């Protein structure tokens, strides 16, 4: 089990609060199919499960910050609108920001260290 999976497990077991939005859940399912070889049904099932233990934030898609990859703006917008303390990601464009507003942008392994 890798650090990203451990972060999801931490949220599932209420050791931290998970924020998400429809766009993040769609991308999550797509990544499970592309990188982990899940079929669409299984990938969508996992995305639905994440929704059950997460707070869903409505993102109006107004934030324009990640110039290197504008498709990442919705992730940052979800964190900001949800008043997140941390945005946990492996995305290099988001990590390059380091922080935005009051949100620290960190890798999963670092977040797990903070949780301990």
Q: What distance in Å separates the CA atoms of residue 90 and residue 105, rounded to the nearest whole number?
A: 10
The continuous run of DSSP H or E covering 102 comes out as none
Q: HSE of 43 in the Cβ direction (CA atoms, 13 Å)? A: 17
Instruction: Return the CATH fold of 3-115.
Output: Rossmann fold (3.40.50)
Tell me the CA distances in angstroms from 100 to 4, 21, 41, one per residue in order: 21, 18, 35
| Domain residue ranges of the chain, discontinuous segments joined by + | 3-115
- 51, 20 contact by CB (below 8 A): yes
Q: What is the pLDDT of residues 27-83, one digit of tens each?
A: 999 999 999 999 999 999 999 999 999 999 999 999 999 999 998 999 999 999 999
Say what the pLDDT of residue 90 is.
Answer: 94
The continuous run of DSSP H or E covering 84 comes out as none
């Amino acid at each position: 089990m890798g650090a990203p999976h451990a972060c999801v497990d931490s949220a599932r077991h209420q050791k931290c609060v998970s924020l998400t939005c429809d766009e993040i859940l769609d991308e999550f399912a797509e990544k499970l199919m592309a990188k982990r070889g899940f079929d669409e049904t299984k990938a969508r099932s996992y995305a639905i499960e994440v929704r059950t233990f997460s707070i869903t934030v409505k993102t109006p898609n107004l934030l324009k910050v990640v110039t290197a990859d504008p498709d990442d703006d919705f992730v940052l917008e979800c964190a900001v609108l949800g008043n997140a303390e941390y945005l946990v990601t492996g995305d290099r464009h988001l990590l390059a920001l380091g922080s935005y507003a009051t949100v620290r942008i960190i890798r999963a392994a670092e977040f797990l260290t903070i949780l301990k």
